[in-house]
Amino acid sequence: MTHESLVLAFPDDDVTVTSPVDLPTAITDPTARRVLTEIGFPEHVEQCLWFEALDTPLVTLASSGYSPFETTAARAADFYVIGVSTAGLLCLDGVSGECYFVDDKGNVLLAAFQLDRLLEFAWRLKTDIDSGHVGETWEQRLIADFRKLDPLTLATSEDKWRDVIAACHANALS
């Protein structure tokens, strides 16, 4: 995926690319650095994934004021808030490049093994909805495709992704 292809897929959104100068030095994962500084993220996906946190300097979960995060306290300084979803905050581990859902109870579930996979999930949601490829079997097909792309993530957070997909679908129909 390129910045240009992302802009074409999200024509009504700002696609935010972070300047390398503004990227926290603690984000060392090469894939995360490349995605954030070269490709970018759309502002939102069908009112179920929002990435406006990337419009401003990234903050850690610990400094965001978000609570409760009792179960994440040990890692809160390493998690950068990159967005919000219907399943909770979306956070990036700057060292591993893994992305997590952090819900309102402080539970942490893998959202994507790498940031480029999270972007691919978002792109796929948007393009399927825009092209009308939704219907009775759409959620199952999408989950199966996500599972092929990132089997580890779907093994731990399939229910969260199903919630996000359902919210995206409902918002697209309204």
Residue 106, judged by CB atoms within 10 A of its CB (0-12, 13-18, 19+), counts as middle
Q: What is the pLDDT of residue 139?
A: 81
DSSP letters along 139-152, please?
A: HHHHHHHHHHH-HH
Q: What is the pLDDT of residue 136?
A: 67
Q: What is the pLDDT of residue 57?
A: 82
Cα–Cα dist 90/101, whole Å: 5
Backbone angles phi, psi at 149, to 5 degrees: -70, -40
Count: domains in the chain: 1
> Is pLDDT of 92 > 80?
yes
Question: Measured between alpha carbons, how far is residue 167 from residues 14, 32, 164 in Å?
Answer: 21, 26, 5
Write out the residue range of the structural domain in which residue 65 sits: 3-173
Cα–Cα dist 56/35, whole Å: 16
pLDDT, one tens digit per residue, over 106-118 is 788 899 999 999 9
Mean predicted lDDT score pLDDT of the chain: 83
Confidence of residue 69 (pLDDT cuts 50, 70, 90): low
Identify the residue with better confidence: 82 or 139: 82
Cβ 45 vs Cβ 126: under 8 Å: yes
> Is pLDDT of 103 > 80?
yes
Q: What is the pLDDT of residue 115?
A: 93
Helix/strand/coil percentages in the chain, nearest 5: 45, 20, 40
Q: What is the pLDDT of residue 125?
A: 84
pLDDT, one tens digit per residue, over 113-132 is 999 999 998 888 888 777 77
pTM of the predicted model as reported, rounded to 2 decimal places: 0.87
pLDDT above 70 coverage of the chain, percent: 88
Task: Spell out the alpha helix ranges (H) of the chain.
Answer: 3-9, 30-34, 115-131, 138-149, 151-173
Q: What is the pLDDT of residue 137?
A: 76
pLDDT, one tens digit per residue, over 27-68 is 999 999 999 999 998 888 877 888 877 767 888 887 777 655
